[in-house]
């Protein structure tokens, strides 16, 4: 048996379809050399593990029962591996058929190479700058966090973080390799040690790259092969979480390697930059959440101001009847009630749902009238003004949403029906299979098809004509059938098409899914597209509200209701657990629920009334129905029917 030349290690967490496509490409690239493949699953809740066992039996699968982090998971596989070289590979990547041969050949001919990274593009064919990076010294990190590296990308001073002054298509010696694709020489790892498990996420690739150079070896950027790195599941870099994780990783790195040397620079530079970035991130997130409600409030308030003198003149024949407190106090209270009703009804959820907004308007209108009826007689100024303003809000504010959609505000695109113009790249037979996957997921029009089959008379051109065909047919998306084309052909096509705004997707060889950046289309019932799924923001909010109200009721009135439970103390304990989000009053029946949206374990289930007297085979179907068409009244009905069991 030939000695293992390469050990490929993939750490996976809840990326089942990305992982499947990645493994397809890995095994295609392994056909001409001795390669072993490891998948380390960090306690995924999807069916990643069963997929690997069923479709890729040659993979050595390590199933962790908890998320141990990136470094620890890689180390688990490295200790079991036998390869002369070790490749750390992200699951949301696709490698070319000759990628492994090229990188191993380069390493064999460059004994000074301790590690190697390759050219990476995202799912839309754009070059990823993290393909090559410099050492993030305090000054370099400061320039990056403050944005100076983006303003002066060609500067050798400000552009060090991503080495943006170096040619993307030339081989270079670099400081830092990306953990998404990191080829390592085993003999070097034996010298410098494995990944530092102090780094849970981010920073471990920087640390390992730096230790390679400290040991006298080089890290190479190798652009003679290109991979796709979707990054669809990555942490958003504008989020507060990313800022915190990035800072923590940098602090660990500096404390480990530069302690004493850069300590005086770390405090004034890095912390200032981090806090500045965090401040901007906070402002951005707050603004994104509140600007539309503020506009709504301002519009309705201005309507009150405009209509008030008209109503006074009509009703009383003169102005100045209503006191200043009406506009300054009462109207703001009305608007606050309306805003809370819209928030609770999902009127400001993203993406926007028109029915949620209209429902919020009516709930707000009813709540304002109720509030009005409770006011002192002297403060009940006019029902007519309330009616006028709420009618205006119900008519004008939805129109304002269409304006948001027209100018391209994120979350409102669904109001402007659009049809994706799709160009298929593949044979007629594979194109039909792709259409089966697309089904009725969204509105699309197939505008054409390219194929390299000389006998295909229905094609609009070959793969070499793809850019021109896409331009002539005004395609918005291109879907590649990977059964008909090699990954190399697909990646080269993605890089060579320069049409602005065009998107790419790839259908897997087994026609199970179509993958794009942050996009997964399958034939399976994905809950993110179900109208009333338990995973929608509004239903999550309603379910949590129901849980909290019931838990509070039991805790507050426990001296009165304790005798209604079979086990009163357990009911009280369950109420506290529900309040802390560890349990929910109604959850799934125990079993295989990997594909369902995650919710806390339930005190009750949809079949609690039957006890254990039901066929276990129907549990999955019952859970599916419960999650697919969730209603808060379903939870209420289950609780009322099983009240005595809340303490079990």
Is pLDDT larger for residue 261 or for residue 61? 61
Is pLDDT larger for residue 298 or for residue 509? 298
- Fold of the CATH domain 420-524: Rossmann fold (3.40.50)
What Cα–Cα distance (Å) separates residue 499 from each residue in 121, 159, 494, 528, 620?
16, 27, 10, 30, 46
Helices (H), 269-424: 271-316, 324-325, 331-345, 354-374, 383-406
Domain 6-132+168-230, second-level architecture: Alpha-Beta Complex (3.90)
The CA-based dihedral angle spanning residues 61, 67, 70, 72, taken in that order and rounded to the nearest 10 degrees: -80
Radius of gyration of the chain (CA): 30
pLDDT of 123 above 70: yes
Q: In whole angstroms, give the CA distance from residue 276 to residue 147.
A: 11
pLDDT > 90 fraction of the chain, expressed in percent and rounded? 27
| Per-residue pLDDT reduced to its tens digit, 90-116 | 999 999 999 999 999 999 999 999 999
**What's the pLDDT score for residue 229?**
92
pLDDT > 70 fraction of the chain, expressed in percent and rounded? 87
| Per-residue pLDDT reduced to its tens digit, 242-260 | 556 666 666 667 666 666 6
- For the entire predicted model, the pTM comes to 0.72
Q: In whole angstroms, give the CA distance from residue 344 to residue 29.
A: 51
| Per-residue pLDDT reduced to its tens digit, 178-232 | 889 999 999 999 999 888 877 656 678 888 888 999 999 999 999 999 999 987 5
| Per-residue pLDDT reduced to its tens digit, 20-49 | 999 999 999 998 899 999 999 988 877 788
| Per-residue pLDDT reduced to its tens digit, 575-599 | 999 998 889 999 888 875 556 777 8
| Res. 437 pLDDT band, cuts 50 70 90 | confident
Name the residue among 77, 150, 159, 199 with its Cα closest to residue 209. 199
Residue ranges, CATH 3.40.50.720, the chain: 420-524
Residue ranges, CATH 3.90.550.10, the chain: 6-132+168-230
| Per-residue pLDDT reduced to its tens digit, 314-365 | 888 888 888 888 888 888 999 999 999 888 888 888 778 888 888 888 888 8
């Amino acid at each position: 048996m030939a000695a293992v030349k390469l050990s490929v290690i993939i750490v996976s967490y809840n990326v089942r379809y990305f992982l499947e496509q990645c493994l397809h490409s890995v095994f295609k690239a392994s056909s001409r050399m001795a390669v072993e493949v490891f998948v380390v699953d960090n306690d995924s809740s999807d069916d990643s593990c069963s997929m690997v066992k069923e479709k890729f039996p040659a993979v050595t699968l390590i199933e962790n029962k908890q998320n141990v982090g990136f470094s620890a998971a890689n180390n688990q596989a490295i200790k079991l591996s036998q390869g002369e070289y070790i490749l750390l590979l992200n699951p949301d990547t696709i490698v070319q058929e000759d990628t492994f041969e090229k990188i191993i050949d380069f390493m064999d001919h460059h004994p000074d190479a301790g590690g190697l990274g390759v050219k990476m593009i995202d799912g839309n064919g754009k070059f990823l700058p993290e393909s090559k990076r410099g050492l993030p010294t305090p000054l370099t990190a400061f320039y990056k966090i403050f944005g100076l590296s983006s303003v002066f990308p060609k500067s050798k001073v400000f552009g060090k973080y991503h080495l943006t002054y170096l040619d993307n298509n030339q081989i270079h010696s670099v400081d830092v390799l990306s953990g998404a694709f990191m080829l390592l020489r085993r003999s070097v790892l034996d010298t410098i040690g494995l990944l530092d498990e102090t780094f849970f996420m981010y920073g471990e690739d920087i640390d390992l790259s730096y230790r390679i150079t400290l040991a006298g070896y080089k890290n190479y950027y190798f652009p003679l092969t290109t991979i796709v790195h979707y990054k669809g599941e990555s942490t958003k870099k504008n989020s507060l979480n990313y800022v915190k994780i990035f800072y923590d990783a940098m602090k660990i790195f500096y404390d480990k390697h530069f302690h004493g040397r850069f300590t005086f620079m770390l405090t004034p530079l890095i912390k200032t930059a981090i806090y500045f970035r965090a401040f901007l991130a906070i402002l951005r997130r707050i603004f994104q959440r509140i600007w539309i409600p503020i506009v709504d409030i301002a519009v309705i308030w201005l309507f009150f101001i405009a209509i008030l003198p008209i109503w006074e003149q009509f009703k009383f024949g003169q102005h100045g009847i209503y006191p200043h407190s009406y506009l300054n106090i009462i109207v703001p209270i009305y608007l606050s009630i309306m805003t809370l009703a819209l928030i609770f009804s999902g009127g400001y959820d993203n993406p926007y749902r028109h029915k949620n907004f209209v429902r919020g308007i009516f709930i707000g209108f009813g709540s304002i009238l109720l509030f009005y009826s409770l006011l002192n007689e002297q403060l009940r100024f006019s029902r007519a003004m309330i009616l006028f303003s709420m009618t205006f809000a119900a008519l004008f504010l939805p129109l304002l949403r269409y304006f948001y959609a027209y100018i391209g505000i994120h979350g409102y695109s669904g109001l402007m029906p659009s049809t994706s113009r799709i160009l298929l790249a593949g044979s007629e037979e594979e194109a039909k299979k792709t259409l089966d996957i697309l089904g009725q997921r969204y509105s699309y029009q197939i505008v054409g098809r390219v194929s390299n089959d000389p006998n295909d008379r229905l094609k609009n051109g070959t793969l070499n004509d793809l850019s021109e065909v896409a331009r002539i047919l005004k395609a918005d998306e291109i879907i590649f059938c990977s059964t008909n084309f090699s990954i190399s052909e697909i990646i080269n096509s993605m890089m060579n098409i320069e049409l602005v705004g065009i998107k790419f997707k790839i259908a897997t060889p087994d026609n199970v899914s179509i993958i794009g950046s942050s996009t997964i289309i399958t034939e399976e019932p994905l809950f993110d597209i179900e109208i009333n799924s338990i995973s929608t923001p509004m239903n999550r909010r309603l379910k949590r509200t129901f849980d909290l109200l019931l838990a509070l009721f039991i805790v507050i009135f426990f001296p009165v209701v304790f005798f209604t439970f079979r086990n009163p103390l357990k009911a009280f304990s369950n109420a506290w657990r529900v309040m802390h989000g560890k349990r929910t009053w109604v959850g799934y029946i125990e079993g295989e629920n990997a594909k369902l949206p995650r919710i806390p374990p339930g005190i009750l289930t949809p079949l609690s009334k039957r006890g254990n007297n039901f066929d276990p085979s129907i549990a999955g179907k019952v859970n599916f129905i419960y999650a697919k068409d969730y209603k808060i009244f379903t939870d209420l009905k289950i609780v009322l029917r099983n009240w005595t069991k809340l303490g079990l």
